[in-house]
Amino acid sequence: MNVLAVGCHPDDLEIGCGGTLAKYVKQGHNVIMCHVANGDLGHAVILPKELRELRTKEAEEAGKVIGAAEVINIDVGDLKVNSNNGETVIKVINVIRYAKPDIIITHSPDDYMKDHIEVSKLVFDASFSSSVPHVETEYACYPRVAPLYYMDTLAGVGFLPAEYVDISDAIEVKLAALNCHQSQIKWLLEHDGIDFLDFARTVSKFRGLQCNAKYAEGFKHCETWPRIFAERLLP
């Protein structure tokens, strides 16, 4: 099965569905990770140009830890993600056609900041548009409108999962992948007193308590036609 995960910033997928992606890889599925924004404003000291390059490298290293086949960077600047930007829409359509996903995972439309919400809209629109033959991109039309799953919001605020994935056997992989994003982990710990690795573990434990697992990640299915399929697609 081909799995496409589209996050906003370079560490968002590791936070929201890193354990699930690692489980997919362990089961032999093909996983592609894509981030739309380049993370260039995610630091108060490191300047945007340097940070953009650093965060791209961190995302690639995290992808290796998870076992992803590829990490793709759409390279939109932070706070500039716009679901109505034609160039960005075409880039996301092109990624979907390239990946030929059986399932897509992305942000909830009710997440905590504009960039995340815009990515959710982008993926919803692009995943349908990728099936339209006369939309021209580098890659040919992909006729399947892939099932779309929304991953947890940051800290799980306002998000009640409809499905869970037990990541008890993948929690350390999830945290190791997240730890690759040192420009964020170190900065948050030193300057804001936030241990984000502990943060991610705690949220995973909380979701685990909800579904009788030690650690879990929660998801909602986008329930619009023709994205509804009878089989379970989460690992």
pLDDT tens string 52-80: 999 999 999 999 999 999 999 999 999 99
228: its two tokens? 């509804």
CA distance 73 to 62: 13
CA distance 123 to 127: 6
All domains of the chain, ordered by start, with CATH?
A: 2-221 (3.40.50.10320)
CA distance 85 to 18: 28
3-state DSSP assignment of residue 150: strand
pTM: 0.97
pLDDT tens string 115-168: 999 999 999 999 999 999 999 999 999 999 999 999 999 999 999 999 999 999
Tokens 């940070």 -> residue: 51
What is the percent of the chain with per-residue pLDDT over 90, rounded to a whole number?
A: 95
| pLDDT > 90? residue 8 | yes
For residues 85-109, give the mean pLDDT. Answer: 98
